[in-house]
Amino acid sequence: MIDWLPAIVIFIYLAVVLYIGIFAFRRGKETGEDFFLASRSIGSIVFFLALFATNMTSFAIIGSSGMSYRTGIGVFGMMATSSALVIPLTLFFIGTRLWAVGKRFGHMTQVAFFRDRWECSEIGTFIFLLTAAMMLPYLIISIVGGGTILEALTDGHIPYAIGGAIVALVVMGNVFFGGLRGAVLVNVFQTLLFLSFGVIAFVAIGHKINFTETVDRMMHNPTLGPLLARNTGPGGVPAGIPTVVYLSYMLIPLSSIMFPHMSIMCFTAKKVTAFKKTVVLYPLCIMLIWLPCCFLGALAAGQPAISAAMAGGSEAMKTWIEHPTAQNEPLLIKDLRRLPEGARFRQELLTSKEPPSPRVFSDRLVAIVHPLQASTATAAQRAAYQVLVRDVRQLASSNSDSVLLEMLKMNVWPLLAGILAAGIISAVMGSDCHQILALSTMFTKDIFDYYGGRRRFGEKGTVFMGRAFIVVANVIAYAVAWFRPQIFELAVQYAFSGFAALAPMMVAALFWRRSTKWGALLASLFVAACVVGTGILEMKYRPARIPSPLDVHIWDLGTHWMLFLNKAGQLRVFGWMPVVPMVIGSAVLVVVGSLISRPPSNATIDRYFGSIDRPTEPAFAPVAAAPAR
């Protein structure tokens, strides 16, 4: 029963989420604007809580702690505090103006705005296809995150595939019934839950683990010490965040405002003043979530029992236990064989045919390894200890996304672990609701409505189509999530870089009169080519870099490596992340493409730059709607 307690808490949480969706359904109207934008009626506090939940994914809690376990505390500055500055600034400058054009001209999506602003049709459709394609990976990581959490929390009693399906179904139910109103109401509940998560986890785990002692111990270990600094640690060993990569990450948060679910959220505010609280509170809330996660993730590396549990729950270990061969035998097991107790443990694992729970695996492993470093241990035993610790860390790093959950399970009372895990899962689902709804809104408004669906099927037909799309998108995302793609790599390299590189296009549309649809087309074609190109290069050179300890050379310019894959298999351009040349290239192409093509009509330019900035004196007489009869 105790084992299931955290899972029971999560199921109660999921039931609440579903109920809120049904509650919102009862209060909603069957109109497109109400289903997709909650009738643009969101007040300032709810707007902040919902927008924050929209932008926080499993990435913020699971990914950040996992990456900190592998790379160290530098993750906090690299990813979180760059976002803490850049995202509120984009909301302040871009979000407020986007809200204004949405309010003024009734736009519900970015593409609707681009089509109207640049007097284009098919180019808008292309931008829709590009953004929808880049959105799907982001959708997938939410389901992967949900499945991973439920599996880890129940020690595998709920397998990953079923956990992911449960999360996908609850999210689908919430937005299917409640639309944006349902998602926003859930967000309020979710944001409060996961904002308190970090603080409670920090205090609860700190009560069990002596932080000061662990940090001191790590500082005296040449492998673990660097995890507490950013570049090189006390031992002078590089921790693995190169300067150019750190700088590159300053551009990643530009993606935030370009994610369709974020820009759609900007349209939902009742008044533009709702942005005021949001931009001021945003950096503080980022800190509340990311700081504890990054610290605890890095600190877990100094807890042998946590690393052992993560190693025990890794895919490599499970695969070997279920289908043991000489090829797939983890290095840890091979090295354990040299010890009499280790050989016995190996035999037990092989005969059981079923992976033990991470906790059981951890207890056994620690019992074998711990005596090797006792004061009475021989030199050979100490050497074996060093080798095994390295093996455990290597295996645990392949399962680093589970670090926080293992910490909670080992250090916190089960009921509290369940509540905290509900906090994690709410971060997963908060954005997932909006991603699915955003895709549905885009499809319904930019394709179905635009190409005549609304005229033929009416307002109710539009809402029906939106709901049908939610089901289809969810099924596709779940099918891909089944293969369990790596959370960080997938999201950062494809979706984040692509959306960040589309930001210059949005800036041009909102602030540059002379920008044209051809500039937008050139930029979006370039972004599409870069995203596809990155994927192809990484796939092509992937076999060469596994398990290469070196960077893989692709193309050079003189004596400089221009294109290469780093040790983690990620593409680098002169050492920079692809997002840097992508943003610069996209900005240049918007400008060049616009300057060599004819601008939109004066009437359109005047509507967007005259009437928005002088709302009391419209420069263009609005066309009166047909009077109701």
Partner 1 sequence: MKWVLYAATIILIVLHQDFWNWDKVDPRWFGFLPVGLWYHALFCVAAAILLWLFVAFAWPGHLENVEHETTNATIKRNA
Which residues from 530-549 bind partner 1, rule CB under 8 A?
none
Q: How many residues bind partner 1 (CB under 8 A)?
A: 71
Given 483, 616, 617, 628, the residue binding partner 1 (CB under 8 A): 616
144 or 291: whose CB is closer to partner 1? 291
- Choice from 225, 330, 355, 430 touching partner 1 (CB under 8 A): 225
**Parallel, antiparallel, or unpaired: how do β-strands 552-557 and 571-573 relate?**
unpaired
DSSP one-letter code for 4:
T
Please tell me whether residue 268 binds partner 1 under the rule CB under 8 A. Answer: no
Q: Does 625 bind partner 1 (CB under 8 A)?
A: yes
12 binds partner 1 (CB under 8 A): no
611 contacts partner 1 (rule: CB under 8 A):
yes
Helices (H), 119-159: 122-153
Closest CA to 357 of 201, 209, 165, 153: 153
Q: Which stretch binds partner 1 (CB under 8 A): 86-94, 467-475, 477-485, 538-546?
A: 86-94
Residue 244 touching partner 1 (CB under 8 A): no
Nearer to partner 1, 189 or 512 (CB): 512
- Nearer to partner 1 by C-beta: 243 or 386? 243
> Does 85 interact with partner 1 (rule: CB under 8 A)?
yes
Instruction: Please report where in the chains the tokens 């937008």 appear, as a residue.
Output: 520
Residue 293 C-beta: closest distance to partner 1, Å: 11
User: Which of 227-235, 333-341, 506-514, 581-589 is the region at the interface with partner 1 (rule: CB under 8 A)?
Assistant: 227-235
Residue with Cβ nearer partner 1 (56 or 172): 56
Site string for partner 1, 117-156 (x = CB under 8 A): --x-------------------------------------
Contact 330, 395 (CB under 8 A): yes
Measured from the CB of residue 260, what is the shortest distance to partner 1 in angstroms? 19
Tracing tokens 């250090």 back to the chain, one arrives at 411
Asked if 86 contacts 499 with a C-beta cutoff of 8 angstroms, the reply is no
List the one residue from 291, 403, 404, 502 that touches partner 1 (CB under 8 A). Answer: 291
Query: Considering only 145-153, 279-287, 301-309, 570-578, which stretch makes contact with partner 1 by CB under 8 A?
Result: 279-287
Query: Please, what is the minimum distance in Å from the beta carbon of residue 497 to partner 1?
Result: 20
When asked if residue 294 is in the footprint of partner 1 (CB under 8 A), the reply is yes
Nearest CB to partner 1, comparing residues 118 and 345: 118
Residue 104 binds partner 1 (CB under 8 A): yes
Residue 297 is a binding residue for partner 1 (CB under 8 A): no
Burial of 242 from C-beta contacts in 10 A (0-12 / 13-18 / 19+): middle
User: In angstroms, rounded to a whole number, what is the distance separating the alpha carbons of residues 515 and 38?
Assistant: 31
Pick from 12, 15, 199, 284 the residue near partner 1 by CB under 8 A: 284
CB of residue 228 vs partner 1: minimum separation in angstroms?
Answer: 5
Q: How far apart are CA 484 and CA 143, in angstroms?
A: 9
Q: Does 168 bind partner 1 (CB under 8 A)?
A: no
Handedness of CA 154, 155, 159, 160 (dihedral sign): positive
In angstroms, the Cα distances linking 468 to 187, 262, 608 are: 23, 22, 34
Q: The sheet that has 552-557: what strands, in order across it?
A: 552-557, 560-565, 571-573
Which positions from 183 through 212 interact with partner 1, judged by CB under 8 A? Answer: 211-212
Indicate whether 232 belongs to the interface with partner 1 (CB under 8 A): yes
Q: Does 247 bind partner 1 (CB under 8 A)?
A: yes
Segment contacting partner 1 by CB under 8 A, of 278-286, 312-320, 362-370, 413-421: 278-286
Binding mask 53-82 for partner 1 (x = CB under 8 A): --------------------xx-xx--xxx
The answer to the question of residue 100 lying near partner 1 (CB under 8 A) is: yes
Does residue 96 bind partner 1 (CB under 8 A)?
A: yes
| Out of 35, 58, 111, 115, the residue judged to bind partner 1 by CB under 8 A | 115
By CB under 8 A, tell whether 618 contacts partner 1: yes
- CB-nearer residue toward partner 1: 97 or 181: 97
Task: Note whether 271 binds partner 1 by CB under 8 A.
Answer: yes
Q: How far apart are CA 273 and CA 625, in angstroms?
A: 29
Q: Which stretch binds partner 1 (CB under 8 A): 129-137, 268-276, 547-555, 580-588?
A: 268-276
Q: Tell me, what DSSP letter sits at residue 402?
A: G
Cβ-contact 407, 300 below 8 angstroms: yes
From residue 345, give the alpha-carbon distance in Å to each of 177, 336, 338, 340, 360.
51, 8, 11, 9, 12
Selection from 463, 615, 519, 497 nearest residue 99 by Cα: 615
Among 228, 265, 311, 579, binds partner 1 (CB under 8 A): 228
Question: How many CA atoms within 13 Å lie on the side-chain side of 553?
Answer: 6
Q: For partner 1, which is the closer residue by CB, 206 or 324? A: 206
- At 352, list the tokens: 């059981």
Residue by residue, DSSP assigns 26-87 as: HH--SSHHHHHHGGG-B-HHHHHHHHHHHH--HIIIIIHHHHHHHH-THHIIIIIIHHHHHH
CA distance 84 to 224: 28
Distances (CA, A) of 196 to 15, 192, 426: 20, 6, 12
